[in-house]
């Protein structure tokens, strides 16, 4: 049986991140992808230039349309853009109780542009965080959620991850891509123990949408029967290959997209 996966996230018209990246990831891993759009962005490889946030009632209608008709095996939540949208998603998670939900807390673009209103972080922490099975912040996002200074080493990642568990998260994958070092080290904490994932850094400028692809790949692998820890390991392997495969693209003047279909397309 093919798993049905739902992305609730913003749209990236350049195809590198957001629901476009999520759908590509789901498809590349053999799943049926669905998308509920929380925000429309005007962006490309060089940055985000404008954001339009549809009414929260319309976001709720999109979510209801999917769940009322289709079996949803896992949910990936990305950019929500407003406190009202985050509250709608929290209410949907409480009512629909999907088997697995992962939250990639997108609060700012890699170029620094804010991707949410002033109340967004509070609603994520107070209402949405306890309702998802895994949250996948990078160091700057974790700092925003916890109020700590950004982590600069594995111990800092651990402190922030434990703080998020204390704030109600069920499990946390602290992403270490922003931490200096020869390897990309991520830390999975679930309140019982921890698992460290280390992969070599990929020398590439094709990094647009890495967080979207990782969280979506985790959701896909959990929907197909893996444990969270095994899903994270498989998702990391997928991401490394997608980053390496992105070198064959010539898309934009800034950081390019990943090749989500690197296992399916011949090398070029």
What is the average pLDDT value for the chain, to the nearest integer? 93
Instruction: Report whether 219 contacts 74 (CB < 8 A).
Output: yes
Q: What are residue 138's DSSP bridge partners?
A: 175
Q: What band does 107 get if pLDDT is binned at 50, 70 and 90?
A: confident
- Residue 41: strand pairing partners: 51
Q: Is residue 228 a contact partner of residue 134, using CB atoms and an 8 Å limit?
A: yes
Residues 57 and 50: their CA atoms lie apart, in Å, by 21
The arithmetic mean of pLDDT across residues 177-195, rounded, is: 84
Q: At 29, give phi and psi (nearest 5°).
A: -100, 10
pLDDT-derived band at 130 (thresholds 50, 70, 90) equals very high
More confident residue, 220 or 177: 220
Q: Looking at domain 4-248, which of 3.40.50.300, 3.40.1190.20, 3.30.70.260, 1.10.3720.10 is its CATH number? A: 3.40.1190.20
Burial 122-141 (b: 16+ CB within 10 A, else e): ebbbebbbebbbbbbbbbeb
Q: State mean pLDDT over 135-140.
A: 93
Q: According to the model, what pLDDT value does residue 114 have?
A: 67
Share of the chain residues as helix, strand and coil, in percent rounded to the nearest 5 = 40, 20, 40
Q: CA of 122: how far to CAs of 20, 61, 84, 159, in Å?
A: 27, 23, 11, 20
- The average pLDDT across 134-155 equals 91
Tokens coding 149: 């200074």
Q: What band does 166 get if pLDDT is binned at 50, 70 and 90?
A: very high
pLDDT category, 184, cuts 50, 70, 90? confident
Residue-wise pLDDT for 46-87, tens only, equals 999 999 999 999 999 999 999 999 999 999 999 999 999 999
Which positions are catalytic? Answer: 175, 207, 209-212
Instruction: Report CA torsion sign: 175, 171, 19, 146.
Output: negative
The tens digit of pLDDT for each residue in 198-257 reads: 888 888 999 999 999 999 999 999 999 999 999 999 999 999 999 999 988 889 899 999
Q: Tell me, what's the pLDDT at 265?
A: 86
CA-based nearest residue to 254, from 217, 214, 206? 206
Q: Is it the case that residue 182 has pLDDT exceeding 80?
A: no
Alpha-carbon distance of 101 to 98, in angstroms, equals 7
Any idea where the domains of the chain sit in the sequence? 4-248
Give the Cα separation of 255 and 86 in Å (integer).
28
């Amino acid at each position: 049986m093919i798993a049905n996966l739902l992305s609730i996230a913003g749209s990236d018209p350049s195809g590198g991140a957001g629901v476009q990246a999520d759908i590509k990831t789901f498809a590349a891993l053999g799943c049926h992808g669905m998308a509920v759009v929380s925000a429309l962005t005007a962006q490309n490889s060089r940055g985000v230039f404008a954001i339009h946030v549809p009414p929260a009632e319309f976001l709720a209608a999109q979510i209801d349309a999917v769940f009322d008709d289709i079996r949803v095996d896992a949910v990936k939540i990305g950019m929500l853009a407003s406190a009202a949208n985050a509250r709608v998603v929290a209410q949907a998670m409480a009512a629909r109780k999907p088997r697995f939900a992962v939250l990639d807390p997108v609060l700012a673009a890699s170029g620094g542009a804010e991707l949410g209103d002033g109340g967004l972080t509070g609603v994520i922490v107070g209402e949405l965080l306890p309702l998802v099975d895994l949250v996948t912040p990078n160091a700057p996002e974790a700092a925003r959620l916890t109020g700590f200074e950004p982590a600069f080493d594995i111990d800092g990642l651990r402190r922030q991850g434990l703080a998020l568990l204390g704030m109600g998260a069920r499990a946390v994958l602290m992403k270490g891509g922003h931490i200096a070092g020869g390897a990309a080290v991520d830390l999975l904490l679930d309140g019982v123990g921890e698992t460290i994932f280390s992969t070599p850094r990929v020398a590439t400028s094709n990094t647009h949408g890495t967080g979207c692809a990782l969280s979506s790949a985790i959701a896909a692998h959990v929907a197909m029967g893996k444990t969270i820890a095994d899903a994270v390991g498989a998702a990391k392997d997928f991401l490394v290959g997608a980053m390496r495969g992105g070198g064959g693209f010539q898309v934009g003047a800034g950081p390019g997209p990943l090749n989500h279909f690197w296992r399916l397309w011949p090398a070029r």
